[in-house]
């Protein structure tokens, strides 16, 4: 596909940011790639393995882009909101930017007060991934690869990471994230951080969207959004989305909005995944999606920290302009032995699969 006219300069900037040697490694190329099936398309970039757009029709046949993002590569270089990115090595927060594994203490990059958020300053959302394969045709897909070195952001062991985005059926987007620990035990908890607004990325807030989350419990957090280690029921609280509920109906009972991990109830089905959530647009577009995944938790986040962000097409994203449903292991599991372990030992595989089924 054609490269944006500003790409050569940005390629130089991106390469310079991430090069460990001025003369050794060949320059990595950053570009945008499109997967397309009929009037359904998904665009990604290998900077941060980011989904930059998802375009599909509404009930009247009008096309719309339903994920928040930026115009061009430049703003994604910083991307403090992590729009559309794969975040890791460990998504979400790690308390005190430290953990103990096999009797050894590891200290991590601090980028959220005294804590680590989404892998640290230079997590997987802020590096150049290698395009291993891109295939067009009936079910187009792209596979991206990143090698995380031993000691990357303080994490132990070398890790090979792959993510594949695929249009696996009409109006279905599958995402497969796979990692292999090469030489040391290490925590791995990847997440896909797209912000969804089914009315269109610039249509306003998601407060009128209807959400159903198949989870009867959450892992409550402290003032720094770190889990306190307990698992409690959602019944009788503003966190109860077991039945379809508009996002805005109870959000005023919270200090800022939703930013919490849900403990999923549904068992793993014959497709290797469990039903996580259903989202329906509240603006009359008729768009909706089902989310399926194989992870034990999902972070529901309502864009609480968005503040006049200049997005695609000149649209300004304010608070609650999009919502995230980040399937994941439980946050800070390395510091809570009662949470499902996210430790991957040498030679073992980490596999995280998701499926978005869109309708309109």
Binding-site residues from annotation = 92-93, 193-195, 259
Arithmetic mean of pLDDT, 129-151: 97
Order of all β-strands in the sheet with 288-293: 130-135, 141-148, 159-169, 172-181, 349-359, 288-293, 274-280, 210-213, 245-246
| Residues labelled catalytic | 193, 326
Does residue 193 have a pLDDT over 80?
A: yes
Residue 47 confidence (pLDDT): 98
pTM: 0.92
Does residue 293 have a pLDDT over 60?
A: yes
pLDDT digits (tens, 9 = 90+) for 112-124: 999 999 999 999 9
Binding-site residues from annotation for beta-D-galactose = 92-93, 193-195, 259
Residue 6 confidence (pLDDT): 34
Q: Could you tell me the pLDDT band of residue 154, with boundaries at 50, 70 and 90?
A: very high
Arithmetic mean of pLDDT, 207-232: 97
Residue 218 confidence (pLDDT): 98
- Average of per-residue pLDDT values in the chain: 93
Residue 10 confidence (pLDDT): 41
Does residue 184 have a pLDDT over 50?
A: yes
Residue 248 confidence (pLDDT): 98
Percent of the chain exceeding pLDDT 90 equals 91
Residue 26 confidence (pLDDT): 59
Does residue 4 have a pLDDT over 60?
A: no
Residue 333 confidence (pLDDT): 98
Q: Residues 6 or more apart from 160 whose CB is under 8 A from it?
A: 145, 146, 147, 148, 179, 180, 182
The residue extents of the domains of the chain are: 32-359
Residue 171 confidence (pLDDT): 98
Does residue 348 have a pLDDT over 50?
A: yes
Does residue 86 have a pLDDT over 90?
A: yes
Arithmetic mean of pLDDT, 72-97: 96
Does residue 97 have a pLDDT over 60?
A: yes
Residue 283 confidence (pLDDT): 86
Q: For residue 245, count CB atoms less than 10 angstroms from its CB and return exposed for 0-12, middle for 13-18, buried for 19 or more.
A: middle
Q: Could you tell me the pLDDT band of residue 206, with boundaries at 50, 70 and 90?
A: very high
Between 34 and 283, the higher pLDDT residue:
34
pLDDT digits (tens, 9 = 90+) for 226-247: 999 999 999 999 999 999 999 9
CA 161 to CA 158: how far, in whole Å? Answer: 10
Does residue 89 have a pLDDT over 90?
A: yes
CA 257 to CA 324: how far, in whole Å? Answer: 12
Residue 199 confidence (pLDDT): 97
Q: Could you tell me the pLDDT band of residue 11, with boundaries at 50, 70 and 90?
A: very low
pLDDT digits (tens, 9 = 90+) for 324-335: 999 999 999 999
Q: Could you tell me the pLDDT band of residue 1, with boundaries at 50, 70 and 90?
A: very low
Does residue 8 have a pLDDT over 80?
A: no
Annotation: CATH topology of 32-359:
Beta-galactosidase; Chain A, domain 5 (2.70.98)
Tell me how far CA of residue 32 lies from CA of 7, 29, 43, 63, in angstroms: 10, 10, 7, 20
Per this entry, what is the length of the chain?
Answer: 360
Residue 25 confidence (pLDDT): 52
Q: Could you tell me the pLDDT band of residue 28, with boundaries at 50, 70 and 90?
A: confident
CA 195 to CA 272: how far, in whole Å? Answer: 25
């Amino acid at each position: 596909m054609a490269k944006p006219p500003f790409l050569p300069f940005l390629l130089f900037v991106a390469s310079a940011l991430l090069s460990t040697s001025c003369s050794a490694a060949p320059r990595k190329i950053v570009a945008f790639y499109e997967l397309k099936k009929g009037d359904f398309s998904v665009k990604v970039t290998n900077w941060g393995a980011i989904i930059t757009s998802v375009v599909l029709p509404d009930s009247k046949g009008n096309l719309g882009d339903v994920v928040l993002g930026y115009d061009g590569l430049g703003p994604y270089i910083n991307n403090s909101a992590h729009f559309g990115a794969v975040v890791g090595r460990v998504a979400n927060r790690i308390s005190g930017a430290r953990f103990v594994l096999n009797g050894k203490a590891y200290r991590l990059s601090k980028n959220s007060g005294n804590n680590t958020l989404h892998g640290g300053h230079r997590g997987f959302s802020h590096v150049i991934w290698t395009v291993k394969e891109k295939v067009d045709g009936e079910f187009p897909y792209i596979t991206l690869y990143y090698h995380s070195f031993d000691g990357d952001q303080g994490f132990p062991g070398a890790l090979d990471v792959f993510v594949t985005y695929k249009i696996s059926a009409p109006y279905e987007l599958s995402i497969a994230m796979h990692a292999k620990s090469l030489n040391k035990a290490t925590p791995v908890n990847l997440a896909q951080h797209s912000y969804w607004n089914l009315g269109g990325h610039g249509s306003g807030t998601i407060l009128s969207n209807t959400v159903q989350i198949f989870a009867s419990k959450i892992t409550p957090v402290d003032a720094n959004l770190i889990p306190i280690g307990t698992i409690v029921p959602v019944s009788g609280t503003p966190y109860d989305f077991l039945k379809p509920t508009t996002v805005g109906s109870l959000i005023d009972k919270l200090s800022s909005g939703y930013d919490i991990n849900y403990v999923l109830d549904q068992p793993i089905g014959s497709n290797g995944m469990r039903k996580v959530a259903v989202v329906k647009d509240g603006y009359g577009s008729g768009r909706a999606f089902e989310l399926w995944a194989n992870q034990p938790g999902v972070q529901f986040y309502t864009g609480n920290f968005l503040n006049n962000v200049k997005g695609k097409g000149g649209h300004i994203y304010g608070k609650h302009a999009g919502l995230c449903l980040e399937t994941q292991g439980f946050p800070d599991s390395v510091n809570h032995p009662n949470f499902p372990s996210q430790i991957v030992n040498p030679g073992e595989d980490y596999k995280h699969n998701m499926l978005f089924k869109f309708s309109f």
